[in-house]
Chain A
Amino acid sequence: MARFLLRRCLLVVPSLLGLLVVTFLLIHAVPSDPAVSMAGEGATPEQIARLRQQYGLDQPLWQQFVIYLGKVAHLDFGESAFSHRPVALDILQRLPATLELTFAALALSIGIGVPLGVVAALKHNTWPDYLLRVFSVMGIAVAAFWFAIMLQLFFAMELGWLPLRGDLTATMGRPPTITGFLGLDAALAGRWDVLVNHLRHLVLPAVTLSLGGLATIVRFTRAGMLDTLQQDFVFYERAMGYRWLRLVWIFILRNSVTATVTQIGLLFGGLIAGGVVVEAIFDWPGIGSYTVQAILTGDRQVMLAVTLLVGAVYAVINILVDVVHGLLDPRLMEQG
């Protein structure tokens, strides 16, 4: 197990380095000068030139990359050309909100998607299966922004059950920041009113973000289950008189979810990317809107850091997926 994990972790380093090189080159291929954005309206060419020099933007590209790499090795991601604040600080303040939303969406996708996939497989070619197939196609096809607006109109405007936007009611005071996760900080501070209020704000963005993943998980679970249901061990266990539900939820499901687990790993990256739109619509204070702002203003340091961060999170999730695969099928672990 240790060797398995070590090998996976070592592979992350060149992957992230490669990601950094490609992102660095792509960002610098865009004809946008952060010094112009930084200097603001009415800035003179002298002001802009001074900023270029100050931020090393006038140096050769390879030199800029070497300097940047040296800083990244010390976890210094530079200063945002837009906010003039350390990028690491900006990201650290926002990442918890994004992770909160992503994990909530993932939990909804898995918690609802896997059982529905099982039901679809067990009711193969009957009306529940047809219904779930239609639902899963729609779930993948529906645009997140449209679904979000529909949810807002119905649950926030029509029924008034859930908040429209944000992560907390504006007039409510925030608890002291300890972990950065608002819900957790509220619980730690004993601010249950804040916790409940925050969780109510989480519902609509999490449901919106979960839809595509949920539909995907239903399809993969269904396909995996149908495949496993045809295997000899199922017929054997049934013939031996195993309780059907125990057989389904423990043995058949375990042998069916390998592809689903892989898909969940891939979904995670998709959820973070999809979160950009969802965060913008619901004004969720994560890294999504920060990233969009960085792209619009040509804020290279932020774009690089966010890409690296998402890559790192993605790598960690994929290691976890590999571990889960190994636990589900110990033969993989032995192969290293």
Chain B
Amino acid sequence: MSPVGRRQLGGLAAGALVAGSLPALGADSSTLVSGVQLPANLDPHQVFDVPMQAMMFNAYDNLYRYQNDPPEVVPWLAESHTASPDGLTWEFKLRPGIKFHDGSEMTAEDVVYTFRRVLALGLGPAGAFLKILKPDNVTAPEKLLVRFKLESSYAPFFAAIPSVCIVNPRAIKPNEKDGDWGKAWLASNGAGSGAYRIVPAGYRPLEYLDMEIFDDHFLGWKHNPKPVRKIAVRPVKETSTRILALLNGTIDWTDTNIPADQVEQINKSKVAYVQKDVVMRTFVIRMNNTKPPFDNANARKAFAHAFNYMGFINDILGGYATRDPYPQPETLWGIPKDAKGYDYDLKKAKEYAAKAAAEGAPMKRAFEIHVQSENEQSVQGAQVFQSDLAQIGINLKVVGNIWSNLTTAATKPETTPDMWVHWVSTYFVDPENWVGQMYDSQFHGTWKASAYYKNAEVDALLRKARGLVKQEERAPLYEAAIRQIMADSPDIWIYNSMQLQGINKRVKGRRFCTVGQGLEVRTVSLDG
């Protein structure tokens, strides 16, 4: 749903003051009411996006999982792993005695079924595995040992392991229809081993989901003497309602997109506060490098110097973001710290525009930037850009669009807009998630690579880095690739996000990790 408009916020400010004196309505200290969005369905092998992460890290487990801030991959269902020196064979040793929600014991065969299912469906998290893993090459040589033989060495394999939720074939197989791997059934049911189990009767897509505690979770509950017994996910679609619901205690936490200009009001209330966490989620303006003048490096640099980075961050976002001049989060390894990003300098922009024009680039033509109409921040970013470009004689038109149209258009260079705006979220903490998939030309045809940037040297560096296992060997290659990418300026990299989540003051013990956005409930308890 669209973020709240400024006129509506006027009303909300009054509401916030009123709510300051209201008691919290969430009187049940065993039920956490979460206002986050639900994924399209409940099958973690069909859908893999930010809303799914909020669900799956509570209902399912993974061999390894990202925890803490900054994120680190820690053993989870697997107690250890080994990789062969050539990076082709990976083995994971499962902990003994892990139980699924139906009480059956998890074995390596269940992990084999899981990965074969992921590969067969070819959706959600499959993208990281399809090219390097054949179903028959996932095997269980021992009861608690899983072996993966990769087609080619692929270092991000390990980073992508936490994206796969281990499912229970004994729950799924009886519900398979026409060889669908239980796709229809698992879309509305659960088959995991996570700290909370899905209550099928308490689920309606996009509207509500109930989960209840799984007392036999493999990690036990000693770490949390007063855990949440039930999670009631009640997505709040409108920003205005979301804030009011937080302030009157109807929900315990919101999603992570509270508007910056509501932070102060919420923090004034007696009921809730806004938690600020730096996440690995970059905001980028894409340029279609195949369309003149964007096929000219000087033209691209002119645009890169014409964006008022700090003005946008400070004035529009209230300072709740950090300037990130790199094509991936500044906090991730592989960044060449000596590389200098583009700053806001209209004089330089004008000079580069003149150079590009002298080289025959059509700088006088009208340009389009496509934004997600329902997302106020992307519209505002484009408007800031439009205003500054007008000062150097460049005519930019802001075109409203919707996400599905944009991602469809971006699959071909001829239909990709001149420019468009989007975020890149963390699905696995590895440069492959950003520069690897955005700037290696083998990914052309995916919206993530929609700059259609092509540089043989960068391709070679990224491919070599992908084939090595050790981070210390990969890091210099990514640094070299990023240095070259920044010199070529294929896109405009603006900021790394700070997520703003409204949280009721009765919520204690929340732990943050950028993967999963701190929405894991296992450690949480509720006062009162």
Contact = CB atoms under 8 A, between A and B. Distances in A.
A88 interface: no
B124 A281 contact: no
Contact of B126 (A38, A47, A165): A47
Contacts of B205: 83, 85, 90, 290
Contacts of A90: 205
A164 interface: yes
A44 interface: yes
Given A84-B41, A297-B403, A44 B408 contact: no
Contacts of A94: 204, 207
B403 A296 contact: yes
A37 interface: yes
B311 interface: no
A156 interface: yes
A36 to B, nearest CB: 5
B123 A38 contact: yes
B403 A282 contact: no
Interface residues of B, number: 72
B202 A174 contact: yes
Interface in A38-53: 38-48, 50-51
B218 interface: no
Interface stretch (A25-33, A125-133, A232-240, A313-321): A25-33
B391 interface: no
Contacts of B201: 174, 176
A15 B403 CA distance: 32
A117 interface: no
B206 interface: yes
A165 B245 contact: yes
Nearest to B183: A84
Interface string B248-262: 101100000000000
A36 B1 CA distance: 20
A149 interface: yes
Contact of B43 (A46, A84, A86, A282): A84
B49 A31 contact: no
A283 interface: yes
B232 interface: yes
A94 to B, nearest CB: 8
- In this complex, the member of B28, B183, B404, B409 whose beta carbon has the largest number of chain A beta carbons within 10 angstroms is B404
A280 interface: yes
Interface string B387-427: 00000000000000011110111010001000000000101
B130 A47 contact: yes
Nearest to B208: A285
B11 interface: yes
B443 interface: yes
Interface of B: 1, 7-8, 11-12, 14-15, 18-19, 22, 26, 28, 31, 33, 40-41, 43, 46-49, 122-124, 126-128, 130-131, 183-184, 187-188, 201-202, 204-208, 232, 234-238, 240-241, 244-245, 247-248, 250-251, 374, 402-405, 407-409, 411, 415, 425, 427, 437, 443, 445-448
Interface of A: 30-34, 36-48, 50-51, 79, 82-86, 90, 93-94, 145-146, 149-150, 152-153, 156-158, 160, 163-166, 170-171, 174, 176, 280-283, 285, 289-290, 292-293, 295-298
Given A85-B187, A290-B205, 9 more contacts: A32-B408, A33-B411, A36-B408, A46-B130, A152-B241, A157-B247, A164-B250, A171-B28, A171-B232
21 contacts: A30-B405, A31-B405, A36-B447, A37-B404, A37-B407, A38-B123, A41-B48, A47-B127, A50-B122, A84-B187, A86-B184, A146-B11, A166-B250, A170-B234, A171-B26, A174-B202, A283-B238, A285-B208, A289-B206, A290-B205, A297-B404
